[in-house]
Amino acid sequence: MNSIAAFAGRILLAILFVVSGAGKLFDLDGTNAMITAAGLPAGLAVPVALFELIGGLAIALGFMTRLFAILFAGFCLLATLLFHRNLADPIQASMALKNLSIAGGFLCLFAHSQMRWSYDSMQIARRGEIATREAEQRAREAELRAARAEGHASALAQGQPVAASETTYVTTPDLDGDGLPDRRKRKWWSLG
């Protein structure tokens, strides 16, 4: 149930910005007038509209969720400071509270972004699968090396000839007189 609620919340947050960005693209003159009325330079209508549209789609798909969530939280807070400063006006106060709430939703999304049904979660799952496969491969290789070493040791203990391999060991005589070969040394030509 938590996965469904998180997915629905992410989609609802995204819809707001996809619709808003598309609306701004279809009314660039009105958007530019609103931006310049707030004392900002003209020409920001297209970048703002594209940011809202592309970022909203990314949030909906769960692509780079954390990045877009923190960017949208900052965007909402900045919009509140630039466009809804007059808190004495009930409409402006209500718009400021709406933007603060949306920013809070995006901060929650930033904190819990790795949820089901998103590109980011699929990417993390895939990385985990690859890491598991690589760990299993390393374990198999270590087991093979251990089995080869055990076979070599067994053959040497029984005095049987050992087939050449990547690393060949040769026993040295008992120089210290304790009844055991002193050390096994690598042959110099097998050091690769």
pLDDT (tens digit, 9 = 90+) per residue, 58-72? 999 988 889 999 999
pLDDT (tens digit, 9 = 90+) per residue, 107-150? 988 887 656 667 777 788 888 888 898 899 889 889 998 988 88
- For 170, residues 6+ apart whose C-beta sits below 8 A from its C-beta are 184, 185, 187
Angle at 97 between CA 16 and CA 37, to 5 degrees: 75
87 touches 43 (CB < 8 A): no
The reported pTM is 0.64
Q: What is the pLDDT of residue 155?
A: 81
User: How many beta carbons lie within 10 A of that of residue 114, not counting itself?
Assistant: 13
56 touches 14 (CB < 8 A): yes
Q: Where are the domains of the chain?
A: 2-117, 124-190
